[in-house]
Amino acid sequence: MAETTKKSNGRIDALVMLGAAVGVAVLVNALAVQTSVRLDLTEQQVHTLSPASVEAAKALEDVTVTAFISKKLPDTLPTPQGKVPLKGIDRAFRDKLAEYVRAGGGKLKLVYADDGTPNVGTIEEQGEAAKLEAFSSTDAQVSGNTLKFQKYVLGATFHYKTVSEVMPKALTPGFYEFEITQILLRLKEKYEQSQLMKEPLAQGKAVFDGVKACNDAVQKAAKVEEVKEQDAGLSLKGSNDPGQKRLNAMQAAAADLDKACAPVAGLVSGDGAKLKGKNQFGDHLVENAAEFDKVWQELKQATSGQAPAEGQLPPALAVQQLALLLDQLFHEVDHAHQTLADSPGRKAIGFLCGHDEFCPFAESTPLVDPSVAAMMGQSNPMVKQILQAATQISQAVDETNAKIGDNLFTKRGYSIRRIGPEDVIPDDVAALIVYAPRKPLGEFARYQLDQALLAGKPVVVLAQAWQIALLNMQAPEDLGNEMRADWSAMLATASNLDEVLKPYGVELGKDPILDSTHVETVRVTGLVNKGGMQFQTQQDFPYALIPVASDFDRGHALTRSLSSLSLPYTTSVEPSKELAANKAFEVAKVISSSTSSLKKPGPVPVLPQTLKKMVLDSPANGPHTLALAVQGPFKSAFAGKEIPKRPEPPTTDPQHPPQKPTEAEHALAKRTFKAEGKGKLLVIASNLGIEGLSRAQVLAGFDLSKFQQFSPEAIKTFTEWQANFQNWQIRIGQVSHLLNENLQFLSNILDWASAHEALVAIRSKGDARRPMDDVDPDKQKSLRLGALIGSPLLLILLGLVRWRLRLARNRGLKV
Amino acid sequence: MKPIWILARRELAATFDSPIAYIAGAVFLVATGLLFFFGLGGTDDFFAAREATVRPLFEYAPWVLAVILPAVTMRLLAEEKRQGTLELLVTLPVTDLQIVLGKLLGAVGFLVVALAMTLVLPALVLSIGHPDVGAIVGGYIGLLLIGTTFLALGVMASTWTQNQIVAFIVGLMLCVFFWTATDAILRLVLDQPPPELALLSFQSQFADFARGVVDFRNVLYFLSVTTLAVLASTYSLRSRHWQ
């Protein structure tokens, strides 16, 4: 009996002790979750906040960070570069945010979005409403007839006083610090600048609010019938036509709609007019709001009950289309307003213009003063027609450039500035882009570039040594004939970038880089005659003049996540021997061509088949450097030289004559001249396929005096202009299929150029990728085999030796 | 401490006297090497990724350890029980806890040797690039900790039975469960497990080591599980008095 009790007690003791141990372990671990004692063993302390980040966290009072983290994140996320592991990423994100909160010493408040609160939606919905980027993994659910991919969010919003910033997608733990510190620094600058921009921001908000109220009312009225229809399957006023029902509903709500939308016109002409011209983002907002108002007026007309004019859509259909258009325009307005609200403190990027380069701006002055054109047209109707046509071409060029600027840069939140050949770079321009000039840079422009570089402003130079014309339209010799497809050729540009860059130790080559294996295709446009009619055909050919680079410097922020990049018509760029040997400089060959590439003096045959044959017959001499980043203490190319005087700008608008250069200005330039300074220079030996379009290039030889009297020569000149514009379109078309990827790279360049100085080190810290040396396949095999077999074999050999020793020892014992 | 040390040395020597250490060690090295170079299903070629990193080792080695280490621990106490040598052992002036710790430390000795043999992989990577050495050190600390925890679970399974195969299967199930299934089970039980509970997963706890961060919370977690497994093994051993 006593024995049984003893055993039972022993069991109970054991269970109690184990239970207590589990309890203690749980408690200790639960308490430990609150602590953060850790050792960051990585070489660059990748997972520890740098002093700049700690300072940024302490610099702001009362920042509220709202984290949006999906409850169930997938283990991996498929991307074009492969699967990104997400296991434990939510914890890494929480930890990083918590680290900032600690570093801020109570100045940062961290809250987590929760889906437990009623009427706020799921975390994913809340995140999307807060402008986070939702992402999907491969997890999908069948919903009705469609496959629905599960959406996730992982990101945060940062609110500081009246301004906010969003971290839309936090999928790279190595870059959390870069992104969060960037946001904190930006919040500070944004708030400070927003205080100076209070009025335009308030005007922008008023316009946005007015447009939003109108759109909400219209969309509510336009959708009311759809909801009723779904609920009851009934129709209003006996109509079964959904368009008619929508029209009826909108007519019924006409008074409310008018009340909501009438203020828009007033806002556009009131606050909008005041906002116009102050800020490029504001201009964009007002233009979209004005367009919105125009569509609203059309919608109002369509719902008024008046019979449509001839050629107009029936009201029911018009209302449907206009309501949809209105909603789309509202999204444009929303985006433009968001960009305006984000613009305070955003650094401007200058584009050098005036040398036939890519310059995404409309010219500030018209081609011909309208009053002059009207006067000349009075004397001769033919002259009037030609001037009108030239103005139209000029407008088309301006519109194309302005659209490129808007869509590529302004809409993406970059503030861009035109720097003409006679302009001094303003102080608020943080970086300078020289985008593939095809004409030589003048002394003054070179001097501006030099001083910008030495002042520490990042300078990005893209080069275009050659123009490839696979099809060239030519104006006819005889008047009355059609334009003809004339020739294909490789034409050298007149760029002098090689001379411009030489003083900084950068050797920009003129010989094209070709590749036999790693190439992209070129789109060749041809003209065929069928039944007396001319048709255009297009066909893609692998093209040796468009090498695909896949060898990138993974340590450089620009190229860390690139998998490949096509560089049309590229040449090479190398550091000079002196620069390469100078330890004070950091020189990075950020992009290189493949080993199958070759450098060959140009011009080379441009037709794809001929070129291919030539490349296959020539020995490869790659790799060649295609992009070079240099950072260090540059010396001025103008040291000991006379500082160039600012050229006199052309006077095209007599009403607003430009400011003429003065002696005082030149004297000031001499006094502020920098002979040396630390700078950042990035040179890419290709234009990435983006060919510049300029009025001077298309309207080559435009001279108003030639049009005083009508002549057949004037007609011929006009057709040449048409041919020039068409040729630009053809040349862009040749590589249009590559542009999306290359534009993404261009965005990276702008990000890199406009990044905050303190962030550069943090960004490079986050680059976890470390490139492997080139290992030839035979060496790979032997290394693999050695590692796979070597260790197990060694272990087994050790076992055998030990076994033999034991046998010998046992034998010894027997004896 | 001394008895533990003596027991550990004896156990380590016994492990290397038996062919199991060499078979398990060789299988571990070959499997880890294959996964390192080719990934699971041969999908991730190490050289094709062109990155000087040892990360694949830390991704796959815990899987292999979860399978191999129970094979090392299966005989530790089950065999002693089956052969009756445990009775002989307990007559020595050692406590049950010292026996368990001695056996565990002996097995940790094997783990250290096995991990040391994998150093050929970081050496290879160092010869063709510049990997982050700190991150490698962190990863190895993590492997040592997780491996020790797997061994403690294996020892615990070995105290529950006299049959080595049963000990292996139970040990394997425990290790694989803790390594892989914690998340899944939590999600089965709770629709949306709180993030704090997700920390029970070995994978979540190991992720920081693989990044080169030695977090006190992760270390504490693995040590807690190891301690609990050692305590459970000790009471399991002591249970002979109650049967």
User: Is B216 in CB contact (< 8 Å) with chain A?
Assistant: yes
Using the beta-carbon criterion (under 8 Å), do A25 and B212 form an inter-chain contact?
no
**What is the structure's pLDDT at B156?**
93
User: Is A234 in CB contact (< 8 Å) with chain B?
Assistant: no
Section A516-535 average pLDDT: 79
Burial class (CB within 10 angstroms; exposed 0-12, middle 13-18, buried 19+) of A762? buried
Q: How confident is the model at residue A373 (pLDDT cuts 50, 70, 90)?
A: confident
B237 min Cα distance to partner chain A (Å): 11
Nearest to A780 among B19, B47, B220 (CB): B47
Is the preceding omega at residue A503 within 30 degrees of 0, hence cis?
A: no
Section A510-525 average pLDDT: 88
Distances (CA, A) of A558 to A589, A591, A800: 11, 10, 54
Residue-wise pLDDT for A134-172, tens only, equals: 888 766 666 666 667 788 999 999 999 989 999 998 988
Cβ distance A749 to A358 under 8 Å? no
Burial class (CB within 10 angstroms; exposed 0-12, middle 13-18, buried 19+) of A44? middle
Tokens representing residue A274 in the block: 């005041």
A350-359, A432-441, A669-678: which has the minimum mean pLDDT?
Answer: A669-678
Task: Give chain A's mean pLDDT.
Answer: 83
- Which residue has tokens 């590529």? A408
CATH number listed for the domain at residues A198-342: 1.20.120
| Residue extents of the structural domains in chain A | 1-35, 51-196, 198-342, 349-362+418-637+667-765, 780-815
How many CB pairs below 8 A link A and B?
A: 183
Give the integer Cα–Cα distance in Å for A204 and A192: 18
Section B133-157 average pLDDT: 94
| Residue extents of the structural domains in chain B | 2-242
Nearest to A772 among B129, B138, B203 (CB): B129
User: Is B38 in CB contact (< 8 Å) with chain A?
Assistant: no
* CA-angle at A230, arms to A228 and A236, nearest 5°: 40
Question: Which value, to the nearest 10 degrees, does the dihedral of the CA atoms of residues B201, B204, B206, B210 take?
Answer: 160
Nearest to A787 among B33, B133, B228 (CB): B33
**Taking 90 as the threshold, does the pLDDT of residue A504 lie above it?**
yes
Give A-chain residues touching B130 at CB under 8 angstroms.
770
Section A336-363 average pLDDT: 87
Pair type for strands A506-508 and A573-575 = antiparallel
- Which residue has tokens 């260090």? A632
Give the residue ranges of DSSP H helices in A536-635.
577-581, 608-617
**What is the structure's pLDDT at A565?**
85
Section A345-361 average pLDDT: 89
**Taking 50 as the threshold, does the pLDDT of residue A720 lie above it?**
yes
Section A424-438 average pLDDT: 91
Give the integer Cα–Cα distance in Å for A497 and A356: 13
**What is the structure's pLDDT at B15?**
87
Give the integer Cα–Cα distance in Å for A151 and B126: 40
Q: How confident is the model at residue B194 (pLDDT cuts 50, 70, 90)?
A: low
Across A414-423, A448-457, B91-100, B193-202, which has the greatest mean pLDDT?
A448-457
**What is the structure's pLDDT at A628?**
96
Give B-chain residues touching A771 at CB under 8 angstroms.
50-52, 129
The rounded radius of gyration (Å) of the Cα atoms in chain A is: 34
**What is the structure's pLDDT at A365?**
77
Tokens representing residue B229 in the block: 């497994």
Give the integer Cα–Cα distance in Å for A694 and A699: 8
A128 min Cα distance to partner chain B (Å): 20
User: Is B132 in CB contact (< 8 Å) with chain A?
Assistant: yes
Give A-chain residues touching B49 at CB under 8 angstroms.
772
User: Is B166 in CB contact (< 8 Å) with chain A?
Assistant: no
User: Is A2 in CB contact (< 8 Å) with chain B?
Assistant: no
Nearest to B216 among A37, A91, A770 (CB): A37
Using the beta-carbon criterion (under 8 Å), do B129 and A173 form an inter-chain contact?
no
**Taking 50 as the threshold, does the pLDDT of residue A231 lie above it?**
no
**What is the structure's pLDDT at A760?**
60
Q: How confident is the model at residue A3 (pLDDT cuts 50, 70, 90)?
A: low
B77 min Cα distance to partner chain A (Å): 19
Phi, psi of A562 (to 5 degrees): -80, 140
In terms of pLDDT, which residue wins out, B48 or A677?
A677
User: Is B48 in CB contact (< 8 Å) with chain A?
Assistant: no
**Taking 70 as the threshold, does the pLDDT of residue A4 lie above it?**
no
A672 min Cα distance to partner chain B (Å): 44
In terms of pLDDT, which residue wins out, A573 or A270?
A573
Cβ distance A510 to A487 under 8 Å? no
Optimal mutation site among B23, B196, B220, B234, interface A, most CBs of chain A within 10 A: B220
User: Is B221 in CB contact (< 8 Å) with chain A?
Assistant: yes
Tokens representing residue A804 in the block: 């033999």
CB contact residues (below 8 A), chain B span 63-92, against chain A: none
**What is the structure's pLDDT at A141?**
66
Residue-wise pLDDT for A448-503, tens only, equals: 999 999 999 999 999 999 999 888 888 877 766 777 777 778 899 999 999 999 99
Burial class (CB within 10 angstroms; exposed 0-12, middle 13-18, buried 19+) of A718? buried
**Taking 70 as the threshold, does the pLDDT of residue A237 lie above it?**
no
Nearest to A47 among B129, B131, B213 (CB): B213
* CA-angle at B47, arms to B45 and B51, nearest 5°: 105
User: Is B116 in CB contact (< 8 Å) with chain A?
Assistant: no
Using the beta-carbon criterion (under 8 Å), do A33 and B187 form an inter-chain contact?
no
**What is the structure's pLDDT at B196?**
59
**What is the structure's pLDDT at A270?**
86
User: Is A795 in CB contact (< 8 Å) with chain B?
Assistant: yes
Domain A51-196 in CATH 3.40.30.10: yes
Give the integer Cα–Cα distance in Å for A409 and A413: 6
Cβ distance B218 to B209 under 8 Å? yes
User: Is B240 in CB contact (< 8 Å) with chain A?
Assistant: no
Give A-chain residues touching B238 at CB under 8 angstroms.
10, 14
Nearest to B207 among A6, A88, A775 (CB): A88
Tokens representing residue A670 in the block: 């001499």
Q: Amino acid identity of B145?
A: L
- Which residue has tokens 């008046």? A306
Give the integer Cα–Cα distance in Å for A135 and A151: 6
Give the residue ranges of DSSP H helices in B84-95.
85-91
- Is this prediction's pTM over 0.95? no
Give the integer Cα–Cα distance in Å for A7 and B46: 58
Nearest to B195 among A8, A47, A90 (CB): A90
Across A258-267, A455-464, B84-93, which has the greatest mean pLDDT?
A455-464
User: Is A90 in CB contact (< 8 Å) with chain B?
Assistant: yes
Q: How confident is the model at residue A763 (pLDDT cuts 50, 70, 90)?
A: low
Distances (CA, A) of B127 to A619, A704, B39: 31, 70, 21
B226 min Cα distance to partner chain A (Å): 11
Give the integer Cα–Cα distance in Å for A465 and A495: 7
Query: What is the 8-class DSSP label of residue B40?
Result: G
CB contact residues (below 8 A), chain A span 523-552, against chain B: none
Give the integer Cα–Cα distance in Å for B235 and A24: 17
In terms of pLDDT, which residue wins out, B30 or A745?
B30
Exposure letters A292-325 (e unless 16+ CB within 10 A, then b): bbebbebbbebbeeeeeeeeeeebbbbbbebbeb
**What is the structure's pLDDT at A466?**
94
**B53 closest CA partner among A147, A100, A770:** A770
SS3 A560: coil
A65-79, A366-380, A446-460, A606-620: which has the minimum mean pLDDT?
Answer: A366-380
- In which order are the strands placed within the sheet that holds A565-566? A519-530, A533-549, A565-566
A804 min Cα distance to partner chain B (Å): 11
Using the beta-carbon criterion (under 8 Å), do B26 and A36 form an inter-chain contact?
no
Cβ distance A59 to A76 under 8 Å? no
Section B27-52 average pLDDT: 83
**Taking 90 as the threshold, does the pLDDT of residue A185 lie above it?**
no
A490 min Cα distance to partner chain B (Å): 36
Give A-chain residues touching B18 at CB under 8 angstroms.
none
**Taking 90 as the threshold, does the pLDDT of residue A517 lie above it?**
no
B178 min Cα distance to partner chain A (Å): 15
Using the beta-carbon criterion (under 8 Å), do A87 and B203 form an inter-chain contact?
yes
Cβ distance B166 to B82 under 8 Å? no
Give the integer Cα–Cα distance in Å for A197 and A342: 11
A572 min Cα distance to partner chain B (Å): 24
Across A119-128, A770-779, B180-189, which has the greatest mean pLDDT?
A119-128
Optimal mutation site among A15, A42, A552, A553, interface B, most CBs of chain B within 10 A: A42
Phi, psi of A426 (to 5 degrees): -65, 160
**A161 closest CA partner among A136, A133, A193, A131:** A193
**Taking 70 as the threshold, does the pLDDT of residue B198 lie above it?**
no
Section A176-199 average pLDDT: 87
Pair type for strands A415-419 and A429-435 = unpaired
**Taking 90 as the threshold, does the pLDDT of residue B107 lie above it?**
yes
Strand partners for A533 = A530
Section A207-235 average pLDDT: 73
- DSSP one-letter string for A22-36: HHHHHHHHHHHHT--
% residues pLDDT > 70 (chain B):
88
Give A-chain residues touching B118 at CB under 8 angstroms.
791
Residue of A nearest to B137 (CA): A41
**What is the structure's pLDDT at A589?**
94
SS3 A216: helix
Give B-chain residues touching A798 at CB under 8 angstroms.
22
Tokens representing residue A390 in the block: 């030239």
Nearest to B52 among A46, A91, A770 (CB): A770
Using the beta-carbon criterion (under 8 Å), do A772 and B50 form an inter-chain contact?
yes
User: Is B16 in CB contact (< 8 Å) with chain A?
Assistant: yes
Is the preceding omega at residue A623 within 30 degrees of 0, hence cis?
A: yes
Using the beta-carbon criterion (under 8 Å), do B133 and A22 form an inter-chain contact?
no
**Taking 90 as the threshold, does the pLDDT of residue A52 lie above it?**
no
**Taking 70 as the threshold, does the pLDDT of residue B184 lie above it?**
no
Q: Does an H or E element contain A686, and which? A: none
Section A75-97 average pLDDT: 76
**What is the structure's pLDDT at B80?**
81
Cβ distance A685 to A570 under 8 Å? yes
**Taking 80 as the threshold, does the pLDDT of residue A44 lie above it?**
no
User: Is A791 in CB contact (< 8 Å) with chain B?
Assistant: yes
Strand partners for A489 = A469
**A208 closest CA partner among A321, A344, A340, A342:** A340
Section A33-55 average pLDDT: 82
Residue-wise pLDDT for A374-408, tens only, equals: 777 677 777 778 788 888 888 888 888 888 888 78
Q: How confident is the model at residue A103 (pLDDT cuts 50, 70, 90)?
A: confident
Give B-chain residues touching A30 at CB under 8 angstroms.
196
